């Protein structure tokens, strides 16, 4: 007789698309703790190629959710969910508060997604004989409720866990301040691993009776094997790395640079932004209109993690900037700190757990343009910034080293599994 441990990992789209690139490092370190890992993306673009991975990829759920028979599967799952799950109390609560339309839609989406995922698990078990020891959701999503329902009906001895980041965790980030089926998910799930202490504190306060389920399990990045070199010219070299979307507030960087240039026309500035997104063209137009030829501005577009690492090896930067209105803990800051680049960030979410007075500057969440600009200018003091650089690298090693964090997390996940016996 032999035993095996099987993990089902549910992502948004990984290994398809460009998002969730940080999953690669996690899988690299947790894979040795399981005999089998199967990836289930919730979405993939038809005719697109996945990134190379060493795990099996199951597209059955995404195909039912987004395929040609989508309307049939969604409708069937929604009405099945009305019978299967307890939702009436949530509907009453929604009716008594503002944003009723948005929240009714949120509840409806949560219901159909939960039931559709439960049906997916049922089919995997009945038709393919697949059973998993741990179902691991990379985000806090409604599908967790479907896994809970499947476990209850099948009575299979599985554990159900999830990571919690930022936008998926904090309900005030939702359009109506409500996340569908969240209370039932918190009650039924086994463990939630928050990527920040801030996230764990949020859940502890929201569900004090369930606090034993909530843990901090930080993300991490691998050691790049080099340190970014400090600039030796007169230009203040700034880098930012994020999708170009509203919540990243990248226009504030443009406005801060404009402020510095207006205050001192002789100042030399160089800004590199890594990433693309729905507001990419608008950001480029804003930078051109406000900065013109007074600053050197480079938009690289989307870069893979190896390409970002290559950029940090080849080009020198004084500071990495994050001015988001909400975060978990940005992997972009982890990547920069691993290379010894000082950090400037708004005090939102878990940013204060990676940025501090030793390795950079943490500014108020609602900091104005002048505050951001003055903070940036401080990194022109290269002797002071040299201390920041050493501390940034130390912060990565102490708190965001992928080898340490993910091996620990892999052990935790594997410890949840009840190995199944198989005839050799």
> Is the separation of the CB atoms in 239 and 319 below 8 Å?
yes
Strand partners, 362: 345
Query: In terms of residues, how long is the chain?
Result: 424
Note whether 396 and 411 are same-domain residues. Answer: no
Q: Is residue 229, in this structure, part of any structural domain at all?
A: no
Query: What confidence tens digit (pLDDT) does each residue in 21-57 have?
Result: 899 999 999 999 999 999 999 999 988 999 999 999 9
CA distance 16 to 42: 10
Question: Quick one: average pLDDT of 343-350?
Answer: 96
Beta-sheet strand order (sheet of 343-346): 296-301, 269-274, 236-241, 319-322, 343-346, 360-363
CATH of the domain at 355: 3.40.50.2000
Q: Is residue 170, in this structure, part of any structural domain at all?
A: yes
The Cβ of residue 217 has, within 10 Å, a number of other Cβ atoms equal to 21
State the Cα angle at 407 between 404 and 409, rounded to 5°: 105
Query: What confidence tens digit (pLDDT) does each residue in 210-249 have?
Result: 999 999 999 999 999 999 999 999 999 999 999 999 999 9
Q: Is residue 85, in this structure, part of any structural domain at all?
A: yes
Note whether 269 and 351 are same-domain residues. Answer: yes
Note whether 294 and 207 are same-domain residues. Answer: no
Q: What is the pTM of this model?
A: 0.93
Note whether 129 and 275 are same-domain residues. Answer: no
CA distance 81 to 239: 47
Note whether 161 and 55 are same-domain residues. Answer: yes
User: How buried is residue 232: exposed, middle or buried, by Cβ count under 10 Å (0-12/13-18/19+)?
Assistant: exposed
Q: Which domain holds residue 275?
A: 236-400
Note whether 301 and 333 are same-domain residues. Answer: yes
Helix or strand (DSSP H, E) at 40: strand 36-41
Sign (positive/negative) of CA torsion 414, 420, 421, 424? negative
Query: What confidence tens digit (pLDDT) does each residue in 103-137 have?
Result: 999 999 999 999 999 999 999 999 999 999 999 99
Note whether 379 and 284 are same-domain residues. Answer: yes
Note whether 334 and 412 are same-domain residues. Answer: no
Is residue 401 classed as helix, strand or coil in its secondary structure? strand
Note whether 176 and 323 are same-domain residues. Answer: no
Query: What confidence tens digit (pLDDT) does each residue in 285-307 have?
Result: 999 999 999 999 999 999 999 99
SS (H, E, C) 190-232: CEEEECCHHHHHHHHHHCHHHHHHEEECCCCECCCCCCCCCCC
Residue 423, pLDDT above cutoff 80: no
Mean pLDDT of the chain: 95
Percent of the chain with pLDDT over 90: 91
């Amino acid at each position: 007789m032999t035993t095996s441990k099987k993990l089902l990992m549910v992502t948004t789209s990984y290994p398809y698309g460009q998002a969730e690139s940080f999953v690669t490092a996690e899988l690299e370190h947790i894979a040795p703790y399981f005999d089998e890992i199967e990836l289930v993306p919730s979405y993939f673009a038809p005719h697109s190629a996945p990134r190379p991975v060493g795990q099996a990829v199951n597209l059955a759920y995404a195909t039912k959710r987004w395929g040609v028979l989508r309307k049939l599967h969604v409708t069937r799952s929604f009405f099945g969910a009305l019978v299967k799950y307890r939702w009436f109390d949530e509907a009453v609560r929604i009716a008594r508060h503002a944003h009723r339309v948005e929240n009714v839609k949120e509840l409806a989406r949560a219901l159909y997604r939960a039931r559709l995922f439960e049906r997916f698990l049922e089919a995997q078990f009945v038709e393919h004989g697949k059973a998993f020891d741990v179902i691991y959701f990379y985000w806090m999503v409604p599908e967790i409720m479907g896994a809970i329902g499947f476990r209850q009906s099948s009575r299979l001895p599985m554990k159900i866990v999830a990571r919690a980041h930022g936008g998926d965790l904090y309900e005030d980030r939702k359009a109506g301040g409500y996340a569908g089926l969240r209370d039932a998910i918190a009650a039924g799930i086994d463990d939630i691993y928050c990527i920040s202490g801030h996230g764990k504190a949020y859940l502890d306060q929201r569900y004090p009776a369930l606090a034993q389920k909530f843990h901090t399990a930080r993300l991490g990045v691998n050691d790049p094997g080099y340190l970014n070199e400090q600039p030796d010219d007169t230009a203040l070299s700034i880098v930012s790395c994020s999708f170009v979307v509203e919540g990243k507030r990248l226009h504030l960087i443009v406005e801060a640079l404009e402020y510095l240039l207006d205050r001192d026309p002789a100042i030399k500035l160089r800004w590199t932004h890594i990433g693309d997104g729905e507001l990419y063209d608008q950001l480029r137009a804003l930078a051109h209109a406000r900065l013109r030829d007074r600053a050197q501005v480079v938009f690289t577009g989307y870069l893979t993690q190896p390409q970002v690492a290559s950029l940090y090896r080849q080009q020198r930067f004084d500071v990495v900037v994050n001015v988001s209105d909400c975060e978990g803990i940005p992997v972009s800051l982890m990547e920069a700190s691993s290379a010894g680049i000082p950090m400037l960030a708004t005090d939102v979410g878990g940013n204060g757990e990676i940025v501090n007075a030793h390795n950079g500057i943490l500014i108020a969440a609602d900091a104005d343009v002048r505050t951001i600009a003055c903070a940036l200018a401080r990194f022109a003091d290269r002797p002071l910034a040299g201390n920041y650089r050493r501390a940034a690298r130390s912060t990565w090693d102490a708190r965001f080293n992928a080898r340490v964090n993910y091996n620990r997390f892999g052990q935790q996940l594997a410890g949840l599994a009840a190995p199944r016996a198989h005839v050799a």
